[in-house]
Amino acid sequence: MCLATPMEIINIKNKTTATVKQSNVKADIDISLLENPKEGDYVIVHAGFAIEILDYTEAQERLKLFTKLAEIKNPARNAYTRSADNGDN
């Protein structure tokens, strides 16, 4: 199963390509399906294509859902252990 993920456009390279970022993941994607994408926009990325522009609030809500799903899938990695892994104690 493939998931479409929200990512932020951090650099538009040309009319068809942009660099996006989420957490520590960066990728170059195709933006040719979007109308007027801008740096700072959050987009839904699926199979290397941006397929939808999200407003900031919607993007944050979806990212929170992804975090919750990850915690359900791996309950041993709760907020405390993630902080310990990052040295944030």
- The answer to whether the beta carbons of residues 31 and 14 sit under 8 Å apart is no
Read off the CATH number of the domain in which 75 is found.
2.30.30.140
- The answer to whether the beta carbons of residues 20 and 45 sit under 8 Å apart is yes
Which residue segment(s) compose the domain that 14 sits in? 5-86
The per-residue pLDDT for 1 is: 56
CB neighbour list of residue 16: distance below 8 Å, 6 or more residues apart: 30, 31, 32
pLDDT digits over 14-65, tens only? 999 999 999 899 999 999 999 999 999 999 999 999 999 999 999 999 999 9
Specify the number of domains making up the chain.
Answer: 1
> Left (φ > 0), alpha (ψ -120 to 50) or beta: where does 47 sit?
left
